[in-house]
Amino acid sequence: MTYKFENLYQNLSFYASEKSRHIAIYDEDMEISYAELKAKVDAIGAYLQNSGIRFGDRVAMYVQNGYEFFTIFLGITSIGAVAVPMNTFLKNEEIEYILDNSRSRMIFASTALSKELKSISAPDIRRIIWVKSKSDEPTPNSALPNAQTQGALSEHNVSFDTVLACKTKLEIAKSPTENDLSHIVYTSGTTGRPKGAMIRYKNILSNADKATPRYNVSGKDRFLVFLPMFHSFTLTATLILSLYNGASIIALKSVFPITNVLNTALKRKATVFLGIPSVYTMLGKAKLGWKFRWFNKLRVFMSGAAPLAQQTIDEFYKKFPKAHLIEGYGLSECSPIVSLNYYDKQKILSVGTPLDGYEVKIVNDETMEVARGEIGEIIVRGDCVMEGYLNIPPEETLTNGWIRTGDLAYMDDEGFIYIVDRIKDIIIAKGINVYPREVEEIIYKMPQVEACAVVGIRDEYADEEVVAFVQLKENQKLSEREIKTYLKNHLANYKIPKVVHFVPDLPRNATGKVLKRALKEQIAKEGEKA
């Protein structure tokens, strides 16, 4: 299938010519037009070329939210190099592994994160470009000991301002095609080491092209971006989707405090809001002043990363009755969007239907498609599916272009998908499958509950026991007995948690997903102490 553009630089160049004065990025008090954005991208691309970076070379990014992130991403890809955006919450050993695995030759890094780079070895890195925000410390003098000299690379530490000041004209000898790599995104590594999903231009352009009508996006939209830009959901569903349509991005450093997010949305007239379940929970509790209620321009809210609870959806529509909350489903290996609800047709608790041109099947353990309404694993094929994992043979990941997601779901007669759980999260209690999400949905209906997570813990007989972790709302009280009694009115006895743990907070990753592995490890440690 052919898309409007073959690569992101062509995409940027088109809008820099057609609507040069239109604001591409709002960042605090900065307003960067498409023409200005292209000038910055050209400077970065030329600097990288002058530094010996060539087509296909990997350039890492350890950069916090801001106009710099997307500008750097576009600068790297402008010359056909491959961007490697890294989770800014990673620590020394994790960073070292990704730099080594990706064989990155250069890294852009926020000065605020410099301490995580000082004690690691990265043999292939030849230069660090330091990105400084207003409140940061001065650019570090040295970091990343060189494997050959084992000495400080002070002469190889460069300020981002120096890069932007590059006067060399960008000369592109070879432009990327839709089948070339744009970036490598590393999975969270819930089992073993993280794996680098190799994403092609075709993958992200198809996502942007097919998501546009589902969200009803146009060049007049303004995307509010506060989730981590390094994550595939934010990168594609806001940054690239906005660029694809010649729209605008409103960059924020963080979702905290939520009042700042709402004030910025009002001030900058945001129309599109990307969030995750925990953000929508905060929105449900936030006090919206009359000025915001009357004058905000938000028309569509996107949700991803994890399914929304019914309670969260209900609370959202009480505060935004005229808006559209569109829930979708995806995974990094699919660039990441696989399915979305429609702008004018949604089914509550469904993640919608596959984007046009993508094939989705629900299959059993033998990868045979199951009947509508039956639960099985989601498999996906189409332009969204990655090329494969870096340094891993594609045949170990993909079968005839199909990727197994590890997610359990069922599909209704109209093709709408309903996520049930992750295969690895299924609890087998007394030989019967228990889906944690089903139990969690009931617990969420209790008004005192802020958040919850249900996991399976193996007992001495190798069977699994259902265990719940519950986070209460502020100033609320609830006992284990009250929760169990409530659940007995809604669930079979074998699904009732044997133990309920009350916790002040649930451990989450950068995109708000609850880290169930951490909860299981917590139980294991307590068992060892006992």
Cβ-proximal residues to 123 (8 Å cutoff; 6+ apart), any chain:
100, 146, 147, 148
pLDDT (mean) for 176-205:
88
Residue 393 near residue 245 (C-beta atoms within 8 A): no
- For residue 148, the model assigns a pLDDT of 36
CA distance 319 to 280: 11
Residue 228 or 285, more confident:
228
pLDDT of residue 144: 57
The confidence score (pLDDT) of residue 306 equals 72
DSSP state, residue 114: G
Q: Is the pLDDT of residue 504 over 90?
A: yes
What pLDDT, on a 0 to 100 scale, did the predictor assign at position 147? 35
Q: Specify whether the CB–CB gap between 102 and 81 falls below 8 A.
A: no
Burial of 450 (0-12, 13-18, 19+ CB in 10 A): middle
C-alpha to C-alpha distance for 445 and 430, rounded to whole angstroms: 26
Does 181 have pLDDT greater than 80? yes
Pairing state of beta strands 272-275 and 300-303?
A: parallel
CA–CA gap between residue 93 and residue 108 (Å, rounded): 18
In angstroms, the Cα distances linking 513 to 60, 87, 195, 284, 501 are: 24, 14, 18, 18, 19
- What is the per-residue pLDDT for 152? 36
Tell me how far apart the alpha carbons of residues 48 and 426 are, in angstroms, rounded to a whole number: 47
- The one-character DSSP state at 508 is B
Q: What is the average pLDDT across 165-192?
A: 88
The tokens of 374 are what? 């039956």
| Angle at 288 (CA atoms; ends 287, 292), nearest 5 degrees | 160
Query: Whole-angstrom Cα distance, residue 520 to residue 501?
Result: 12
Residue 112 pLDDT greater than 90, yes or no: yes
Q: Collect all residues with Cβ–Cβ distance below 8 Å to 472 and sequence separation of at least 6.
A: 448, 449, 450, 478, 502
Question: DSSP letters along 143-189, please?
Answer: -S--TTT-S--GGGEEEHHHHHT--SPP--SS---TTSEEEEEE---
Q: Which class in CATH covers the domain with range 199-423?
A: alpha beta
pTM (2 d.p.): 0.86
Report whether 302 contacts 270 (CB < 8 A). no
Residue 200 has pLDDT above 50, yes or no: yes
Phi, psi of 370 (to 5 degrees): -95, 170
CATH topology (fold) of 8-196: Rossmann fold (3.40.50)
CATH 3.40.50.980 segments of the chain = 8-196
Structure tokens at 225: 């971006």
Say what the pLDDT of residue 150 is.
34
> Distance between CA atoms of 35 and 13, rounded to whole angstroms?
8
How does the average pLDDT of the chain come out, rounded?
90
pLDDT tier, 432 (very low <50, low <70, confident <90, very high otherwise): confident
pLDDT per position as a tens digit, 45-81: 999 999 999 999 999 999 999 999 999 999 999 999 9
The arithmetic mean of pLDDT across residues 229-236, rounded, is 95
pLDDT digits (tens, 9 = 90+) for 271-302: 999 998 888 888 888 888 889 989 999 999 99
Enumerate the CATH 3.30.300.30 domain ranges in the chain, comma separated: 426-529
Domain with CATH 3.40.50.12780 in the chain: 199-423
Pairing of strands 272-275, 464-472: unpaired
Q: Which CATH class is domain 426-529?
A: alpha beta
CA-CA-CA-CA torsion sign (474, 476, 479, 485)? negative
303-319 residue pLDDT tens:
987 778 788 888 888 89
pLDDT in tens, 436-463: 988 998 999 999 999 999 999 876 555 6
pLDDT digits (tens, 9 = 90+) for 142-153: 555 443 333 333
% of residues, the chain, pLDDT over 90: 68
The better pLDDT of the pair 400, 189 is held by 400
Distance CA 243, CA 146 (A): 37
Token representation of residue 480 = 């284990």
